Amino acid sequence: MAQPSIYQQVLDPANRANPYPLYAELRKTPVTREDDGTYVISTYNEIFALLHDPRVSSDPRHRPGAGGKTAQPDPGQPAPPLPFISRDPPDHDRLRELAMRPFGPPCTPGRIDGMRPWLVEITTGLIDKLADKNSADFVDDFAYPLPVTAICELLGVPLEDQPRFHEWADAIIETIDPATGTFEERARKRDEVNAELGQYFSHLVDSRVRQPGDDLISGLLTDQGPNAPMPREDLLATANLLLVAGHETTVNLITNGMLTLLRHRDVLDRLNHEPGLVTTLVEELLRYEPPVQMRTNRTTVADINIGGTTIPKGSPLALMLAAGNRDPSRFADPDRFDPDRTDNAHLSFLGGIHYCFGAPLARTETQVALAELARRLISPRLVADPPPYRPNPELRGPRHLLIEYDAVAPARQKTGQAVSSG
């Protein structure tokens, strides 16, 4: 049997706990071709260039799985629109701009900062619950509930509906996990959950049409700017996208954060006394242990010369973000976790037109969470290192993170002032 390629070894769940030596191997040849025609790109400059290249498409209809043909929807059954993460200009740009207006600057500058005191409150509540015991599964007890609650708040999902929403989020994540059944089973389950979620969002949109609130969906519905309002079907696809794109990614960042701090006790102690460190620390975490390790959703729509290779039109790409983040030609001492690093233009939120829409929220959530955890958990320690990982090579993160601690310090009186991100 042929020796598995380095890329195949990266995909192998047996290598999930530490894929970084494999990435170093990959970088020795910046562009490699797999037997199935996928081109694997592993060096910073080449990934960066392709992210900004208009000859690279995010639209799955350009996938060579369909023989390079653009799939046409069945005329009897118009397919629901793709979310903007899977579209190219000009549709991508129009929809993203519409979604951006109620989400952040310049139109709604206070949206994320306005969520900070509330995020502190949720974080405080989750840490309070840890005080009843001396050990916890950090993923289930902390990192998992926080981001989905934040997305509910953003979308305006009423409090009483949030448990159902958590269930859907869990179900979607499971269907992304290759270990949870056959491809067909997972696809069927995903369709079921998407149908239920679609119905739920549809009712939510109806209620916001009748009575707009201060949430993102209401913002999209009441927008008076150019190209507004967003068509209803696109709005439903956008709401679904925000849940999927913003959930497990943030779970993994917070969990990787805790894991990395427990492996670097000096940094954890520093964060406790110096909460302002959290801003550069979270950027370094993103570089060092990126929640999205690679993107495999792009296809070339023309021949592209890069890294001494011509990638032909219609080729699937695997952009190895985590390998680029540790490229020694871009980052000094890249395998060192350096919370003071300032020259840190990592690839973890990508770059170019699809740069992560939720980056300000993900950063704020993680900053709040890690600063509070460093302050309140007394003598936290890992029970197992490495922890068990989910098999997914793209959205990489621990499935469980068992920790022990001696005690939990009390919450501050005024939770709104509990942390400062510097």
Q: Which stretch binds ligand HEM (CB under 6 A): 123-131, 185-193, 260-268, 356-364?
A: 356-364
Q: Which of 16, 354, 375, 376 binds ligand HEM (CB under 6 A)?
A: 354
Q: Does 85 bind ligand HEM (CB under 6 A)?
A: yes
Q: Does 251 bind ligand HEM (CB under 6 A)?
A: no
Nearest to 323 by CA among 282, 292, 363: 292
Angle formed at CA 284 by CA 58 and CA 332, multiple of 5 degrees? 95
Q: Which stretch binds ligand HEM (CB under 6 A): 13-21, 134-142, 183-191, 287-295?
A: 287-295
Cross-strand partners of 317: 39, 298
Q: Which stretch binds ligand HEM (CB under 6 A): 159-167, 195-203, 346-354, 376-384?
A: 346-354
CB of 156 to ligand HEM, least distance (A): 13
Nearest to 112 by CA among 390, 331, 381, 368: 368
Q: Which of 139, 356, 377, 403 binds ligand HEM (CB under 6 A)?
A: 356
Query: How far, in Å, CA of 342 to CA of 210, rounded?
Result: 47
Residue 299, H or E segment:
strand 295-300
Q: Does 288 bind ligand HEM (CB under 6 A)?
A: no
Q: Does 350 bind ligand HEM (CB under 6 A)?
A: yes
What are the tokens at 155? Answer: 């979308």
Give the N- to C-terminal CA distance of the chain in Å, as an integer.
Answer: 55
Q: Which of 292, 368, 377, 419 binds ligand HEM (CB under 6 A)?
A: 292
AA letter at 349:
F
What are the tokens at 133? Answer: 């015991």
CB of 132 to ligand HEM, least distance (A): 29
Query: How far, in Å, CA of 20 to CA of 335, rounded?
Result: 9
Q: Does 331 bind ligand HEM (CB under 6 A)?
A: no
- What does the DSSP assignment read for 338-379? -TT------STT--GGG--TTHHHHHHHHHHHHHHHHHHEES
Q: Does 84 bind ligand HEM (CB under 6 A)?
A: yes
CB of 220 to ligand HEM, least distance (A): 13
Interface pattern 48-77 for ligand HEM (x via CB under 6 A): ----------x-------------------
Q: Which of 30, 275, 358, 397 binds ligand HEM (CB under 6 A)?
A: 358
CB of 349 to ligand HEM, least distance (A): 5
CB of 316 to ligand HEM, least distance (A): 13
Of 84 and 144, the one with the shorter C-beta distance to ligand HEM is 84
Extract the runs of DSSP E, i.e. beta strands, from 3-155. 31-33, 39-41, 56-57, 135-137
Q: Which of 42, 249, 255, 325 binds ligand HEM (CB under 6 A)?
A: 249
- CA distances (Å), origin 173, targets 185, 339, 392, 395: 14, 30, 10, 10
What are the tokens at 54? Answer: 């208009």
Where do contacts with ligand HEM occur on this chain (CB under 6 A)?
Answer: 58, 84-85, 96, 241-242, 245-246, 249-250, 253, 291-292, 295, 297, 348-350, 354, 356-358, 361-362
